[in-house]
């Protein structure tokens, strides 16, 4: 991890969402939906897949859970009326690769239509945990640390409890006016139910995994050098 103190602990989610109307994949309705589902389950070995009529709701997402593509575990795949979602725990690059390969396979298997050049709008969600000795949420002598110290003194004065309080999260989000954000926020926060002294953090970002990690490493370096 760049020779600094940041150490990746785990990739919790590497999600890619391809925005495409399901009608565009089956423009003349030649492919029979139940055959597609059966073929996907046989190809990937999904442990949970739609079997009842109400489970074929593309508004909520037609859900497949616990499958494999080659040697990679697919945590979840969903088919929406306006997109395809695929989760792994390796990287968003792997999730994209699997989704592209699966779509290419579906062309010969079911007669679907897939044109990568016209289907390139994507969304991402990356979740990971990591350790760092760098105080990302408040370096000593910083305004945040000074505020934290004064707040601790106030809490102790009112309650008599001297258990230290510390900053636990940094969150970035796009302006909610005039519309609500369509992406997940970028968060850096202390890992829940883990002692502060363990220096373990959780981060989520609407970015590819590699870019997510690179931004965290650069932030760590900036805090360390400030």
| Whether the Cβ atoms of residue 133 and residue 5 lie closer than 8 Å to each other | yes
Query: Does the residue 33 lie in any domain?
Result: yes
Which one of 85, 120, 155 terminates a domain? 120
Measured torsion, CA atoms of residues 192, 194, 200, 202, in degrees rounded to the nearest 10: -10
Q: How many domains are there within the chain?
A: 2
Are residues 148 and 199 located together in one domain of the fold?
Answer: yes
The H-or-E segment that residue 58 falls in is: none
Q: What is the pLDDT of residue 1?
A: 42
Q: Which strands sit side by side in the sheet containing 72-80, from one edge to the other?
A: 62-69, 72-80, 83-88, 7-18, 122-131, 200-205, 186-190, 169-172
Are residues 66 and 151 located together in one domain of the fold?
Answer: no
Q: What is the pLDDT of residue 3?
A: 45
Per the structure, the complete domain to which residue 212 belongs is given by 127-225
Which one of 120, 140, 172 terminates a domain? 120
Residue positions counted in the chain: 226
Nearest alpha-carbon partner for 26 in 37, 14, 41, 11: 37
Which one of 96, 120, 144 terminates a domain? 120
Are residues 165 and 214 located together in one domain of the fold?
Answer: yes
* pLDDT tens for each residue of the chain, 226 residues long: 444 589 999 999 999 999 999 899 988 888 888 889 999 999 999 999 998 888 889 999 999 999 999 999 999 999 999 999 999 999 999 999 999 999 999 999 999 998 888 788 999 999 999 999 999 998 888 899 999 999 999 999 999 888 889 999 999 998 877 666 667 899 999 999 999 999 999 999 999 999 999 999 999 999 988 7
Query: Does the residue 10 lie in any domain?
Result: no
Nearest alpha-carbon partner for 130 in 185, 184, 190, 177: 190
The separation between the first and the last C-alpha atoms of the chain, rounded to the nearest angstrom, is: 20
Q: What is the pLDDT of residue 220?
A: 95
Name the E strands within 110-199: 122-131, 169-172, 186-190
Query: Does the residue 13 lie in any domain?
Result: no
């Amino acid at each position: 991890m760049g020779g600094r103190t940041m150490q990746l602990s785990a990739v919790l989610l590497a999600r890619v969402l391809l925005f495409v109307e399901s009608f565009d994949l089956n423009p003349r309705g030649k492919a029979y939906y139940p055959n597609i589902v059966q073929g996907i389950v046989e190809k990937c070995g999904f442990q949970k897949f739609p079997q009842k009529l109400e489970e074929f709701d593309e508004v909520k997402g037609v859900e497949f859970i616990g499958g494999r593509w080659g040697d990679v575990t697919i945590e979840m795949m969903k088919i929406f009326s306006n997109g395809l979602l695929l989760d792994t725990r390796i990287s968003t690059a792997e999730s994209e690769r699997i989704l592209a390969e699966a779509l290419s396979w579906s062309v010969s298997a079911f007669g679907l239509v897939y044109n990568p050049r016209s289907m390139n709008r994507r969304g991402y969600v990356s979740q990971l945990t990591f350790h760092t000795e760098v105080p990302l949420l408040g370096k000593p002598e910083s305004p945040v640390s000074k505020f934290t110290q004064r707040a601790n003194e106030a809490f102790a004065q009112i309650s008599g409890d001297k258990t230290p309080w510390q900053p636990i999260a940094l969150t970035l989000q796009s302006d909610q006016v005039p519309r609500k954000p369509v992406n997940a926020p970028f968060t850096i926060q202390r890992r829940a139910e883990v002692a502060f002294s363990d220096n373990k953090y959780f981060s989520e970002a609407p970015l590819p995994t590699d870019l997510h990690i690179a931004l965290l490493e650069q932030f760590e370096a900036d805090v360390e050098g400030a």
